[in-house]
Amino acid sequence: MTIQEVKNRFGIIGSASSLDRAIDIAKQVAPTDLTVLITGESGSGKEVFPQIIHSLSARKHGQYIAVNCGAIPEGTIDSELFGHEKGSFTGAHEARKGYFEVANGGTIFLDEVAEMPMATQARLLRILETGEFIKVGSSKVLKTDVRVVAATNVNLQTAIEKGKFREDLFYRLNTVPIIVPPLRERKQDIHLMFRKFASDFSAKYRMPTIKLDAGAEQILSNYYWQGNVRQLKNITEQISVIERQREISAETLIKYLPIHQTSQLPVLASSATAGNDFSERDILYKVLFDMKKDLMDLKKIVVDLIENDSQLNQDFPPENAQLIKKLFQDVGSPETTIQLGYNNTNSPALLKQKEDSPTRVIEVEESLSLQEIEEDMIKKALIKHKGKRKNAAKELGISERTLYRKINEYGIK
């Protein structure tokens, strides 16, 4: 079966190379009994890949069971997966087979596997290694022959580091990884999918099919689509039902697209969320903002002295006074913009003034030593808070641990 035949059979729309790669891996691994781990963002269509694997495998005539691990309460998930004996807990009025016993000879799809409790993860690991399990309330070891396909939208490596997922289970599940690309990485497929959904909803609700104008098509393709295919389908259905005009403009489409808050700007992350990696940057930004304010005050003082102090005018070389007055004559004017630029060289401070635009801009480039700035700021913070390191660290926007390290590094007493 070709990739296109798989797409036609399972209703997959798109021609992105990353999507074709995921389908091709599913095709190749299907005839084997290898465990497969499918990763991808929520709503990206991960649930179709276990169906492809099962239908193209030798187990296609066996049972296929899809289990949402995140939807089963922690207290009952063991019973759901592995079964229980009569009287094993309150409400267990009769013995019950679990999914692994029912799916013997078939395939079980564990969706949202990262939500599985740690105790249940240990039971799952035993099944993957030996095919053995024990029902809740029983001491009898049972065997099952089940192919496991798991999926998650969580970064399992991060979950392992946080102690929320077993590392040995991860390597057992991740025998063959399949990565489902997010919709925003399949821009050429977005409009095709919209048209397919619009056609389906037109037939479902017995109304004319909606169409997008050129502006709306561009917005549709460039949108972030945090909810991926599921979000696109829901929005298409909303527009199909609500809008009376069948040709959708950009202005109309925008009303249905939630604003996705993304930014390319630098972010000042606190130590509580970003750790020690941002401590030096936090200090540098704070210093730069303080220096800008101090520089503005200094300029005003210099200009005022030159203009109003007669004794200074007598002692100061006239050509130097005129130069400084020329550089700083617009300080305080609402049309003057001060921009601070910092280089990494050891060249002297350089003052430049641009007069080629209505708004006058003074750029100040300074060479800075990050080590000296850090040491100076730490000393000031410790003095301000009378040696209390906790308060000093909070003032600097870094963790106490980072502050202790810096104090030892710079030999501050």
Give the pLDDT confidence of 215-255 residue by residue, as tens digits. 999 999 999 999 999 999 999 999 999 999 999 999 999 99
Counting beta carbons within 10 angstroms of the beta carbon of residue 137, is it exposed (0 to 12), middle (13 to 18) or buried (19 or more)? middle
Q: How many domains does the chain have?
A: 3
pLDDT surpasses 90 at 7:
yes
Would residue 11 count as lying in a domain?
yes
pLDDT score for 354: 42
Q: Are residues 189 and 204 in the same domain?
A: yes
pLDDT score for 159: 95
Would residue 175 count as lying in a domain?
yes
Distance between CA atoms of residues 223 and 218, nearest Å: 9
The least confident of 110-119, 175-184, 270-279 is 270-279
Distance between CA atoms of residues 355 and 131, nearest Å: 79
Considering only residues 387 and 167, tell me which one the structure prediction assigns the higher pLDDT.
167
From 179, 205, 232, give the residue that closes a domain.
179
- What is the rounded radius of gyration, in angstroms, for the C-alpha atoms of the chain? 33
From 254, 278, 294, give the residue that closes a domain.
254
Q: Are residues 275 and 193 in the same domain?
A: no
Distance between CA atoms of residues 67 and 50, nearest Å: 12
Distance between CA atoms of residues 22 and 7, nearest Å: 12
Would residue 194 count as lying in a domain?
yes
Q: Are residues 224 and 353 in the same domain?
A: no
Would residue 104 count as lying in a domain?
yes
Q: Are residues 114 and 157 in the same domain?
A: yes
Q: Are residues 369 and 307 in the same domain?
A: yes
- What's 226's domain CATH number? 1.10.8.60
Would residue 301 count as lying in a domain?
yes
In sequence order, the 6+-apart residues with CB closer than 8 A to the CB of 165 are: 114, 121, 156, 159
From 232, 254, 276, give the residue that closes a domain.
254
pLDDT score for 318: 59
Mean pLDDT of the chain, nearest integer: 82
Q: Are residues 214 and 354 in the same domain?
A: no
Alpha carbon of residue 52 to chain centroid: 28
Q: Which domain holds residue 281?
A: 265-413
Q: Are residues 237 and 273 in the same domain?
A: no
Q: Are residues 228 and 355 in the same domain?
A: no
pLDDT surpasses 90 at 167:
yes
Would residue 260 count as lying in a domain?
no
- What's 46's domain CATH number? 3.40.50.300
CB 23 within 8 A of CB 7: yes
pLDDT surpasses 70 at 277:
no
Tally Cβ neighbours within 10 Å of residue 92: 15
Would residue 143 count as lying in a domain?
yes
pLDDT score for 325: 57
Q: Where is 199: in which H helix or E strand?
A: helix 187-205
| The model scores a pTM over 0.75 | no
Q: Are residues 283 and 246 in the same domain?
A: no
Q: Are residues 271 and 367 in the same domain?
A: yes
Q: Are residues 174 and 33 in the same domain?
A: yes
Q: Are residues 248 and 318 in the same domain?
A: no
Would residue 62 count as lying in a domain?
yes
